[in-house]
Amino acid sequence: AQKITQTQPGMFVQEKEAVTLDCTYDTSDPSYGLFWYKQPSSGEMIFLIYQGSYDQQNATEGRYSLNFQKARKSANLVISASQLGDSAMYFCAILGTEGGSNYKLTFGKGTLLTVNP
């Protein structure tokens, strides 16, 4: 079964500094997608960035970049120049078929990021 592991329950970062949120995954699928979502205290799930398993280049979206290391099955999120509004729960997720024909989006347990002024 596919699985996402986020080993950091909580992280702290100073405003304007960069922070890396860890994500490792396990899958037997050759074709899969990796997502990062932000969930502020209001509860909505906000899409941040996506990386396809066959994408050669690391995905970037503004201040967000995904450090994709396929051989290590790692998909860490890097947030540059942290802002107070970045304080939220961050979820890593994988979209795959678990070896079957039906797709499932599986989430990790999340990392709570706190940005300090």
Going from the C-alpha of 102 to that of each of 11, 44, 55, the distances in angstroms are: 34, 26, 22
Per CB under 8 A, does 64 bind another protein? no
User: Is the separation of the CB atoms in 30 and 40 below 8 Å?
Assistant: no
Which CB sits closer to another protein, 65 or 82?
65
Q: Which of 5, 11, 24, 33 binds another protein (CB under 8 A)?
A: 33
Per CB under 8 A, does 50 bind another protein? yes
| Interface ranges with another protein (CB under 8 A) | 29, 31-33, 35, 37, 43-47, 50, 52-55, 59, 91, 93, 95-96, 101-110
